[in-house]
Amino acid sequence: MKADYLSYRKATSVCLLGLGLQVVLGLTLLIYGLIATRQSGLVTIGDHAAVSGGLFILLGGVVWLVLAVLFDQHRRERIEHMETEALLASGARDSSAFSEQSGDELRVAAKRLSWMHRILVPGISVLFAAALALLGFWRFQQGRSILSEENFVSAPRIGVPIGMGLAIAFIGFTFARYVAGMAKQDVWKHLRAGAGAAAGAAVVGLFTCIAHFVDYVSINDLAKYLHVVIPGLMLVLASEVFFNFLGGLYTPRRAGEFPRPAFDSKILSFVAAPDRVAASIGEALNYQFGFDVTSNWFYQLLTRSLAVLLLTGVAVVWLLTGVAVVQPNEQGIRVRMGERVSDAPLGPGLYFKLPWPLEAIETANTTQVRRLNLGAATPKLAAGQKSILWTNDHGVEEVYFTVRPSADDRMAAVSGSAAPSDQRARDFALVNVEIPVYYVISDLVKFDRLGSPALRDDLLRAIGRRLAFSTMASYTIDDVVGGARPKIGAELRKLIEAEYAKLDAGVQVTFVGIEGVHPPRETANGFEQLVQAEQKRRGAIADAQKDANKAMIDVAGSVEMGQRIVAAIREVDALRAAKAPADKLAAKQREVQDLLIMAGGSAASAIQQARADRWTKHMSKRAQASAHSGRVAGFRAAPEVYLSQMYFDTLLESTAQARIYIVADDGKTNAVINLEDSSSLGNIFQAPKKEE
């Protein structure tokens, strides 16, 4: 087709029509999404995907607007070209005011068109990719939170999104095919980008229709995945536009050839015109093999039967969805048109059903052990921590239980001995307890009747937590922190099993216990100080007992013998206090002495030493008494002889260590005495000896 201004004017009209359709379709889906969201009563639930789809379709209007401006500039450039050619051909150039200007200087529209292809279109392409990426990321982050069952709400009037999605898909795809047909002409080749924008609207409408239809006929809530599928499509298209922009910078072009806009998506172009992609593949095959493969009879037969083959393959795959397998570790539920039709769970085996989405067999692993936390979750070690202490941040939400105070606190409250700063002992205490409940599914049908998958655990947890609160309130903090944990776990398991049996929940409890207990983090230091004081008290008692046992062993030889001796001494004290007869008291005292001697300790040694000293003194005094009796008898027999004997004995004893000089009494005597002689009467240089 000849590239004249009429062709470009028609293309501009088509772009404006596409812009209008794109805006109408986008606003329709956006308004529905906002209204449906308000009807659900929550800001981020309801038809959140419809809002994302509406924004995506409206953003495609930018493509149509840029194409309309671009084709209009092409039209102006063609008109300018015609006027310039006519002016130059008529010879009026020499007589005009523009006689000094060249023909290129008169082509203002052409220069503006070149500037649009070089600067405007690539710049808008980059902004378009950034807008797609930011919008896709924002909606994707919000859509992730809606994937959980408790946040997803099906459309209140599910027929509305089905009909609206079908209409958008039909209008978008029909217009995309029409524009793609125009884009086969070289003068309108840039319309492929507009066809891609219309195809994008058709894809969003088709996804909306299929997802809500599946949500209507089945419990497979495919509609909730639209919250991330549509934003994911935005992110993929943003990446493609960005890479198209980078590729366009390094793609060589002939003179006068305008580049393909970066926002022209090849992915959406395939949706709008799949036949062109097939033709491109055929041309690639011809080039690779070196001959015309497309003219081969097999290729022609394949192209004529391709639609039938594809439809047959799709039909076979769809019919295969009528066969389901329940694994040995699973149980199944038959669901038809969104309603449960199984009264009993399906065991392992092969089952036939209606094809998807008319009927489905929902399976679940019933041998997997599941866990519920009735209290706090398992603590997490922070960076740099090697152990979990009461004073550490456990990294999870704390769940406190009320328990009775300890016996010491109650006694302090009754006696009034509690410190005023403590405001007396309270009638309850708070502790953080980790109480896991492990269970398996015994009946999948009963378990499914409890509610949605997210609400089941919440219901079972609420029942177990209520029983845990009431059970923990009957125990003291010493029991919970101390050795009563197995007893509490066994009691709590019986209560939970009985309550789940009343609820007919279809679960079997395998374990209930207490994994960890600690007081509130703010009071942990005080609690540890109390424990440390108690340990010190017990240590002091143990040290005192050790000293007592050591003293007992030193005195009595052994602890057992010492206890017998102490018991006998207490009996002696009791007899003395009761003023028992002397013979009975003496007998008990002798018994104590015999026990002490038999023990062989320091007490026995002291008794033996005392007895030896007593006998020594007794015999010494007795010998003195006998000697005195002999002296008295000798004095009485011969007083003079006795006195003389005593005199000479005394003289002998006093002069035993002295030197005796015998001299005559009739002459003079000169005595020379060496006072340093040790045998002399004394030494004046020697200190006198102390008397013993």
Classify burial at 136, counting beta carbons within 10 Å of its beta carbon; exposed 0-12, middle 13-18, buried 19 or more.
buried
Among 275-289, 310-324, 520-534, 591-605, which stretch is predicted with the lowest mean pLDDT?
275-289
**Who's near 34: CB < 8 A, 6+ residues apart?**
51
Cα 565 from chain centroid? 64
* Domain segments of the chain as ranges: 5-88+106-272, 323-368, 371-381+389-519, 529-600
pLDDT of residue 684: 46
Residue 86 has pLDDT above 50, yes or no: yes
By the 8 A CB rule, do 171 and 25 touch?
Answer: yes
pLDDT of residue 286: 64
Q: What angle do CA 426, 430, 431 make, to 5 degrees?
A: 145
* Residues 310, 312, 314, 319, Cα dihedral to 10°: -170
Helices (H) and strands (E) in the chain — how many of each?
Answer: 20, 11
pLDDT of residue 94: 52
Cα 184 from chain centroid? 58
For residue 296, what pLDDT band results from cuts at 50, 70 and 90?
Answer: low
- Round to whole Å and give the CA distance between 293 and 279: 12
pLDDT greater at residue 428 or residue 545? 545
pLDDT of residue 423: 46
Residue 155 has pLDDT above 80, yes or no: no
pLDDT greater at residue 171 or residue 250? 171
Mean pLDDT of 667-674: 66
Q: Which CATH superfamily is domain 371-381+389-519 in?
A: Band 7 domain (3.30.479.30)
Would you tell me how many other CB atoms lie within 10 Å of the CB of residue 559?
A: 13
By the 8 A CB rule, do 442 and 369 touch?
Answer: no
Q: Average pLDDT, whole number, for the chain?
A: 78
Classify burial at 429, counting beta carbons within 10 Å of its beta carbon; exposed 0-12, middle 13-18, buried 19 or more.
buried
- Round to whole Å and give the CA distance between 136 and 59: 11
By the 8 A CB rule, do 83 and 203 touch?
Answer: no
Would you tell me how many other CB atoms lie within 10 Å of the CB of residue 300?
A: 11
Sign of the CA dihedral 497, 503, 508, 512?
A: negative
Whole-model pTM? Answer: 0.52
For residue 244, what pLDDT band results from cuts at 50, 70 and 90?
Answer: confident
Q: Residues of the chain with pLDDT > 90: what percent?
A: 5
- Round to whole Å and give the CA distance between 373 and 16: 60
pLDDT of residue 134: 93
List, for residues 34-68, the tens digit of each pLDDT value: 877 543 433 444 577 888 888 999 998 899 999 99
Mean pLDDT of 382-389: 69
49-58 burial code (b ≥16 CB/10 A, e <16): bbbbbbbbbb
* Residues 620, 621, 623, 624, Cα dihedral to 10°: 120
Classify burial at 622, counting beta carbons within 10 Å of its beta carbon; exposed 0-12, middle 13-18, buried 19 or more.
exposed
Q: Which amino acid appears at position 467 of this protein?
A: L
pLDDT of residue 353: 87
Find where tokens 């593949």 sit: 281
Mean pLDDT of 470-490: 84
Beta-bridge partners for 359: 336
Residue 602 has pLDDT above 90, yes or no: no
Helix (H) or strand (E) holding 224: none
By the 8 A CB rule, do 463 and 497 touch?
Answer: no
Mean pLDDT of 303-312: 73
Q: Residues of the chain with pLDDT > 70: what percent?
A: 77
List, for residues 104-138, the tens digit of each pLDDT value: 566 787 888 888 888 888 888 899 999 999 998 98
Q: Quote the tokens at residue 138.
A: 């924002």
Find where tokens 């008319």 sit: 358
Expressed in angstroms, the distance from the first to the final Cα of the chain is 152
For residue 24, what pLDDT band results from cuts at 50, 70 and 90?
Answer: very high
For residue 91, what pLDDT band results from cuts at 50, 70 and 90?
Answer: low
**Who's near 350: CB < 8 A, 6+ residues apart?**
323, 324, 325
pLDDT of residue 23: 92
- For the chain, state the CA radius of gyration: 57
Residue 320 has pLDDT above 80, yes or no: yes
Q: What angle do CA 12, 15, 21 make, to 5 degrees?
A: 145
Among 583-587, 595-599, 613-617, which stretch is predicted with the lowest mean pLDDT?
595-599
Q: Quote the tokens at residue 206.
A: 């088709």
Among 442-451, 503-512, 597-606, which stretch is predicted with the lowest mean pLDDT?
597-606
